[in-house]
Structures are given as C-alpha cells and as structure tokens.
Amino acid sequence: MPTLLDKPPVTAAEKTYLQLRRAIVEGQIPPAAKLSEADLAETYDVSRAVIREAVGRLEGIRLVERTANVGARVVALSLEALAELYQVREALEGMAARLAALTMDEREVEDLHRLLVHHRHSIKDSETYYQEDGDVDFHYRILQGSKNKHLIALLMGSIYHATRMYRVQLGMAGPRIARAFDEHHHIVDAIAHRDAELAEMLMRRHIQHTRQEIESKLLAQSTASKAKLA
C-alpha cells in the first residue's frame, strides 16, 4: 500500500508516530486502550517528548483522543462513529472520483483498466489473493487521479487508517469480491467516459455498500457477544 510518506522517517518522533499508528490500526494496541507516555517511551526506547509528539499527531488524525491532564486513549469503535466516518468518506471519495473523471489523462485511465484486468485474474486464480490490497490500490489510484492534495491527505492520512481499524477488529478479510469488482468496473468506465457526475454517484454508492457490510458485521458481532451472556 503506497503511503503519503514513502520516504524513511527523519525524526524519532515521526518514526514513532508511524510505529504507533500501525500498532493501533492493526490492533496490537486495542481500541479504547489507555496510552501511557512512560510505558510507550520505554517500549519504543525514546523520551517522553517524542511520544508526546507522536500521540499529538495521532490525535490529529483521530485515532487517539486526548484529555488535558488525564492522558490519551485510542478511540473506541462504535456504530455511530462508523456511520460518521463513512459519511465523510463517501463525500470525499465521491468528490475524488468526480475530479478523477475530469483530470485523469489517457494513460492514467489505461493504467486503471489494466489494474482491473489484473484484479479479475486475481479473483479467478485465488479468491483470497489481492482482495483488500486490490481494493485499496483501486481507491488509491482514483484518489491520485483527483490531483487534489488536500483530499489525498485527508483520506490517506486519516480516513483510511480508521477504516482499516474497523476491518481489523472485525476480522474482515477484505471487501466483497464480485460485487465490489463490478462496482469498480462501472466507476472506471464512468471516469474513462469523463462522466464526472456518474463517477461520483457510483463511487458514493460503492462506499455506502462497504459501510453497510461493515455495519452488519459489527451488529452481528455485538449480537453474538450478547448471546454469550445469556
């Protein structure tokens, strides 16, 4: 998965930020967990100042909530927060698809088609191969095609991490394969035809479906844990 920071980190704070972000998103540090600066400083072998910088940045991308004089905590996952996240994502990625339809050049569109062909082969060869990476790659390409750095920073610097966090916690292998592929295909067609309106609409619908999938999984999980109590 390409990231905004493909360059190696320069400062210890940045390196620690990346490490912490990964630990949170992948679940080593679970949702709602309290973050202790002293503990983390020991774990990562840096001073507390470095941890504070890193945690401050994690707060900025909404993976962490900080309370003055109390400390920082990983955000808790909830249906409400998920809905809010996906409404934001829908708006931003809809706009990204719209812009992509207007600004992507022929070669970029070709690359996108080629990516789809590649994904189709992956689906046939192995249903577990390239599932989430394919989806992420697809969205990444559209986003780059938007040519809007602000949009890119918002989605890749923040939204996508939160999205991934839900997936990891729900043990989701990746997005729906066949239907998602169809949706990808239609989106690319709209972009290729420079139909910004349609591209946006299809992307937004695609995001809505993804949201529904995660919501039902989250509901099923909380129902299952309730059944355990009975």
Smallest distance from the beta carbon of 70 to a second copy, in angstroms? Answer: 10
Contact call for residue 148 and a second copy (CB under 8 A): yes
Q: Which residues contact 93 (CB under 8 A, 6 or more apart)?
A: 139, 142, 143, 155, 203, 204, 207
Smallest distance from the beta carbon of 9 to DNA, in angstroms? Answer: 9
Choice from 56, 65, 108, 115 touching a second copy (CB under 8 A): 56
Residue position matching structure tokens 């994904």: 119
Measured from the CB atom, is 49 or 219 closer to DNA? 49
Smallest distance from the beta carbon of 205 to a second copy, in angstroms? Answer: 14
Work out the end-to-end distance of the chain between its first and last CA atoms, rounded to an integer number of angstroms: 42
Q: Tally the C-alpha atoms within 13 A of residue 228's C-alpha that lie toward its C-beta.
A: 6
* 159-218: contacts with a second copy (CB under 8 A): none
Contact call for residue 18 and a second copy (CB under 8 A): no
Contact call for residue 21 and a second copy (CB under 8 A): no
Measured from the CB atom, is 45 or 125 closer to DNA? 45
Per partner kind, with CB cut-offs from 5 to 8 A, the member of DNA, a second copy, none near residue 84 is a second copy
Distance CA 54, CA 87 (A): 27
For residue 65, give the H/E element and its range. strand 64-67
Measured from the CB atom, is 28 or 78 closer to a second copy? 78
Per partner kind, with CB cut-offs from 5 to 8 A, the member of a second copy, DNA, none near residue 36 is DNA
**Residue 191 CB burial class (10 angstroms; 0-12, 13-18, ≥19):** buried
Distance CA 140, CA 153 (A): 11
**Residue 39 CB burial class (10 angstroms; 0-12, 13-18, ≥19):** exposed
Contact call for residue 68 and DNA (CB under 7 A): yes
Residues that bind DNA (CB under 7 A): 10-13, 34-39, 46-50, 52-53, 66, 68-72
